[in-house]
Amino acid sequence: MQDITTLARLAQLELTDEEWSRMERELGEFLNYMSALPMDEEPIAAVSGSEHPFREDVAAASMERSKLLANAPVQVNGFFVTTKEGTV
């Protein structure tokens, strides 16, 4: 239940009692599935097979600040306002 509370708070979700129950069940099913996966495989470093999967760092045009901030819950002086938990 603590995992769901943390996830809901970070995602700024307001869940009904029915949604809490469903989330708890679905998260439990997901975690059970993940724990059943084999863990003896080597991790994949680069899916592409390339030795250097990173692109060159090239300056490019960006979106307008007003468009970027349009959905920000809180903004001050043209910047997003956040806290450590992601709530304001």
Please state, in angstroms and rounded to a whole number, the distance separating the CA atoms of residues 71 and 41.
41
- What's the chain's average pLDDT? 79
Domain total of the chain: 1
Q: Is the pLDDT of residue 63 over 60?
A: yes
Name the more confident of 35 and 85. 35
In this structure, is residue 60 part of a structural domain? no
Residue 2 lies in a domain: yes
The Cα 29–Cα 23 span in angstroms is 10
Write out the residue range of the structural domain in which residue 6 sits. Answer: 1-39
Give the CA count within 13 Å in the CB-facing half-sphere of 3: 9
CA–CA–CA angle 31, 16, 81 (5° rounding): 80
pLDDT at 83: 75
pTM over 0.75: no
